[in-house]
Structure 1
């Protein structure tokens, strides 16, 4: 690519279109291809022909253009000491900020820190960036290390670092630590919080539902609120479903007392809040208001409105809203179509939901486990277990890990259809799908196996697996097993199960107790029934003693009649 004549540069670097120069430098860096921090054996001489063009704008644009951080660092280091240097170029803070941002975004902490230390730029501002980068990685310990370092380095203030660590704690949902740190720093007079500090605290409190505490901070701020602060408070109210206070806050903003007129985020937050509460008419009203205020709806706006229509069962209207969105030049996303899918499922249009899902697949949408799960559930509604199982296999092949609830739906449908062998097979294959069976998975299959004869070996195997997984049986499962053993006249196993139940203070149901007593009576052991009756009543005082006594007496009467 041809470069601008160098004689023009000295006259007006600012006026020059730097795009061709940036592209040429990027191409050269790709050819040189530095791959590590050690570039001693790589000559930077080919870059010398660009020294005439050096200025802050060029350097920052070149750095921001690089996808490989080593390319950017190689260029930055060359530009630190170019030869020749006709413009007496030196890096500005903007250049250091650009290279620091890029290195930290690739988790190259050591090179970034060494660069800042060597240049004497390791200030509160740049430490704030280091803290935020460690927070993005989830390394709160390292973030605090650098926050403490900022306190030690800065003689007067470390506001950037303070705000950065507050942001890290908000992101990590460490709200108790957030409050403690904020209060300690303020009480010690180490930092005078600014609007960003208060906004971080408000956001954190709202995130964990402490909206009243957030409002107290909002009301008592020692500095002027900004639009971000209002939006953080608005988000707290809307997440809580407190649309009355959200409405009041909106009116406060509209009065413009603090130069904080609602913006796109404000309107979207309100619209989403009303939609999730099912107040679609109010949501529509605010969408109209935002348009009149010259604030054009974006994808988030339509996403909320379409979701609101779908939960109201107005799926066809939601589809029309997608058309309106497209006419306004906006592109619909996967989340919007998942809302349509949910809506079709909610209004019991399973065939249409399945067809819509297949269309989404054909459009190469990035479908997640929830979207697949919805369709698996719809197949179960239609009793199409084979199709549901095929879809689960399709998920596995595509690397999508299913949630338990759709698999449990398939298990329920299989046992309802009497396909117990397939249910057992699916239960045993669940780990292949990336999720272990839970209590409901086991109970669904085990209790239904107990309804028929000859399945207790399978039941015992499943119980063993369940217990090894750390899951415990409940009273329902025990009763199913007790009843089956009693009907099979397996007195040893039935007695063992009932003793376990009594030991765990589980109440034997009237049905299972009746089957147990009948078994004892048939074996001429009705006197054991009396003993177990007393044990049950003693360990479970809340049991309906009269009903259990009646079951036992009826069997005693039947037994006496038979003896006569």
Structure 2
């Protein structure tokens, strides 16, 4: 059997939690929580671990259990251990860990009952149920949980609003997402935050409805974050509206709370390359370097693809060399672009040789 807890005499030692985790997990494997009876389900052996309980250990044990019923059994015991010399009690993150584990195993009713019994079925947790159903493609259940959240929280449920909007945007249900967003604004029970607006902007950009995305962006009552800016810039680039993209980029640069990153510059570079404006793309690349943003695989691939589509294969190959010298590894997309470029300029023999080289 695993080393007893009393042998772990130094609770401050870095290896103590790991040793306790191994001991507790080994003990839990001997239990059968799905078929409870006095002979196979006694919590008495766990009592030796009571003095060592802390939120970090509890979360580690929960996340380490392949069987969710073992995790649940341990969670319920540690919520009221006997004895409890250090007055241990679960934190928010402990409840979040067990909820996430149960939901990942589709034990929705079990998770719901646990949170109801402990009076923890509030907005943030309800949002997790909505998101879980959305990821499984069960939009109806996600909507049902959203209205349950509205009922429980009397409409003051921003996490749940954001969760259902995220589910609907991913499912391309923008009409319903817009109706719920309008409901938030009309009822004024909660104020849309940066994530509410960013989700809606992403949804509108995804459908090519850039004017609607711009309207949400312009009417934001909170400060946009990096993801908000990158999303709307990407939307403008997809539409070929580079004046608006640069305007928002300039607004971003003026913000004290938000710095442009590699994604921002790559989005602009990709847009310019697709439009054939390679000079502007390279200017953007230079500006990127001045700001201390390192180009990544997507940045280089966007430029290589742009050069190849315009028939500048030599420039594309120079960019490939530069990419490798900067420690960025090329991929299939890089070489597909070069092969396409060689074919465009009529260098089929060179394309065949290049293909043989990559193989």
TM-score by length of 1: 0.56
Please show how residues 8-407 of structure 1 align to structure 2 within 5 Å: 8-9=10-11, 12=12, 16=14, 20-21=18-19, 24=22, 28=26, 32=30, 37=34, 41=40, 48-66=47-65, 69-70=68-69, 72-155=71-154, 157-256=156-255, 259-315=257-313, 317-350=315-348
CA positional deviation for 1:313: 3.7
| Contact persistence 2:21–2:57 (CA under 8 A) | no
Query: Partners in 2 of 1:43 and 1:331 — Cα distance?
Result: 55
Q: In structure 2, do the counterparts of structure 1 residues 48 and 337 end up closer, same or farther at CA, with 3 Å as the change threshold?
A: farther
1:395-454 alpha-carbon deviations (Å, 9 max, x no partner): xxxxxxxxxxxxxxxxxxxxxxxxxxxxxxxxxxxxxxxxxxxxxxxxxxxxxxxxxxxx
| Contact persistence 1:25–1:62 (CA under 8 A) | no
Q: In structure 2, do the counterparts of structure 1 residues 111 and 341 end up closer, same or farther at CA, with 3 Å as the change threshold?
A: farther
Query: Partners in 2 of 1:4 and 1:308 — Cα distance?
Result: 66
Query: Which deviates the most, 342-351 or 207-216?
Result: 342-351
Paired position in structure 2 for 1:514:
none
| Contact persistence 1:29–1:71 (CA under 8 A) | no
| Contact persistence 1:203–1:233 (CA under 8 A) | yes
Q: In structure 2, do the counterparts of structure 1 residues 7 and 26 end up closer, same or farther at CA, with 3 Å as the change threshold?
A: closer
CA positional deviation for 1:69: 4.3
CA positional deviation for 1:316: 5.2
Query: Partners in 1 of 2:351 and 2:103 — Cα distance?
Result: 44
CA RMSD of aligned residues (A): 3.4
Paired position in structure 2 for 1:535:
none
Q: Which sections of structure 1, spanning at least 5 residues, go unmatched?
A: 363-564
Flag the structure with larger Rg: 1
Query: Partners in 1 of 2:276 and 2:217 — Cα distance?
Result: 28
Q: In structure 2, do the counterparts of structure 1 residues 126 and 346 end up closer, same or farther at CA, with 3 Å as the change threshold?
A: farther
Query: Partners in 1 of 2:308 and 2:102 — Cα distance?
Result: 44
Query: Partners in 2 of 1:19 and 1:8 — Cα distance?
Result: 10
| Contact persistence 1:199–1:229 (CA under 8 A) | yes
Q: In structure 2, do the counterparts of structure 1 residues 337 and 95 end up closer, same or farther at CA, with 3 Å as the change threshold?
A: farther
CA positional deviation for 1:271: 2.1
Q: Which sections of structure 2, spanning at least 5 residues, go unmatched?
A: none
3-state SS in 2 of match to 1:116: helix
| Contact persistence 1:128–1:164 (CA under 8 A) | yes
CA positional deviation for 1:53: 3.1
Q: In structure 2, do the counterparts of structure 1 residues 54 and 296 end up closer, same or farther at CA, with 3 Å as the change threshold?
A: farther
Query: Partners in 2 of 1:320 and 1:38 — Cα distance?
Result: 66
CA positional deviation for 1:274: 1.8
Flag the structure with more relative contact order, 1 or 2, with Cα contacts below 8 A and sequence separation at least 6: 2
Query: Partners in 1 of 2:43 and 2:51 — Cα distance?
Result: 15
CA positional deviation for 1:264: 2.7
Query: Which deviates the most, 319-328 or 258-267?
Result: 319-328
Q: In structure 2, do the counterparts of structure 1 residues 187 and 85 end up closer, same or farther at CA, with 3 Å as the change threshold?
A: same
Q: In structure 2, do the counterparts of structure 1 residues 261 and 32 end up closer, same or farther at CA, with 3 Å as the change threshold?
A: same
Query: Partners in 2 of 1:292 and 1:191 — Cα distance?
Result: 41
CA positional deviation for 1:135: 1.3
Query: Partners in 2 of 1:68 and 1:278 — Cα distance?
Result: 55
Query: Which deviates the most, 288-297 or 151-160?
Result: 288-297
CA positional deviation for 1:280: 2.7
Query: Partners in 1 of 2:283 and 2:348 — Cα distance?
Result: 32
Query: Which deviates the most, 155-164 or 221-230?
Result: 221-230
